[in-house]
Amino acid sequence: MYKKGRLYPIINLFYHLTRPIVDLRLAFIAIINYIGYIKDLQQFKELTRNLRIPLQDLNPQLFDKTPLTPIDHHYFYQQLWAFKDILKIQPPAHLDLGSTVAFSGYLAQIIPTTFADIRPPNVHIENLKILKADLLNLPLGNESQESISCLHVIEHIGLGRYGDALNPSGSQEACKEIARTLKKGGRLYLSVPIGRERICFNAHRVFNPKTIVEYFPDLKLIEFSVVDDNGMLHENTNWQDFQLQDYGCGLFLFEKPQISKPPRFP
């Protein structure tokens, strides 16, 4: 097995600090690919008997010649996972908390859907309601939502990345707020990065899956699936087996029991 050398943390830190300004890896690839672009342009002109293409119409696309279509495995699988169960259950309405507006758009074709986000998108389609909302203070009543999804969202809460207030316990507070709004018998579809627990400021948090289960003490985990570090989906498996991931995606299906837990007396 390949072992990362002593220089790896330094190189990794340099890469993450400079990437927002310039991705050095892409810059190197771009130079190589520009050579291919110029060759393709010349060959295309020859094939079209020196068709003149004005300089202002050139639009180099340098990163699309790949053997496989690039996808984000987390987003691809998590949305299918949630959509499949929502389609099967057919709740009367669904609330999505900041996942992707595209996901909510698809859901709106089968059930009335509300998409809530601190940065509401400017879209207008039938059956889709857009709601500006802070996940730490949802304008929703207690136990008012029968079906909720929140995919790859709570790991960002409180880090300020999207204009929200800094809050070290933001993710945990968001989980408490989501659980407050879920009806008895209702379902919550939640996904987060899982693996070595840490904060990658200000991108996201990564959680041990046990932490997420503990964040919802009043809900019952009825299914756990995962997209592992290799981009493979494992359905209906044990979260205990995936605590050593580096950056997997845990898919948690919770349900609020019809009967509340009895109070604990000393």
Q: Where are the domains of the chain?
A: 8-57, 73-255
Q: How confident is the model at residue 1 (pLDDT cuts 50, 70, 90)?
A: very low
Q: How far apart are CA 121 and CA 84, in angstroms?
A: 25
pTM exceeds 0.95: no
List Cα–Cα distances, 119 to 123, 133, 147, in angstroms: 12, 8, 21
pLDDT in tens, 165-211: 999 999 999 999 999 999 999 999 999 999 999 999 999 999 999 99
Fold of 73-255: Rossmann fold (3.40.50)
Count other C-beta atoms under 10 Å from residue 7's C-beta: 9
The tokens 């690919």 sit on which residue?
33
Per-residue pLDDT at 19? 76
Greater pLDDT, 245 or 7: 245
HSE-up of 235 (CA within 13 Å, CB side)? 7
Per-residue pLDDT at 16? 79
Q: How confident is the model at residue 14 (pLDDT cuts 50, 70, 90)?
A: confident
Residues 6+ apart with CB under 8 A from 195: 206, 207, 208, 229, 243, 244, 245, 246, 247, 248
Average pLDDT over residues 242-251: 97
Q: Which backbone phi and psi does 231 adopt, to 5 degrees?
A: 80, 15
Q: Tell me, letter by letter, the H, E, C secondary structure of the chain.
A: CCCCCCCHHHHHHHHHHHCCCCCHHHHHHHHHHHHHHHHHHHHHHHHCCCCCCCHHHCCCCCCCCCCCCCCCHHHHHHHHHHHHHHHHHCCCCEEEECCCHHHHHHHCCCCCEEEEECCCCCCCCCCEEEEECECCECCCCCCCEEEEEEECCHHHCCCCCCCCCCCCCHHHHHHHHHHHHEEEEEEEEEEEEECCCEEECCCEEEECHHHHHHHCCCCEEEEEEEECCCCCEECCCCHHHHCCCCCEEEEEEEECCCCCCCCCCC
Per-residue pLDDT at 27? 85
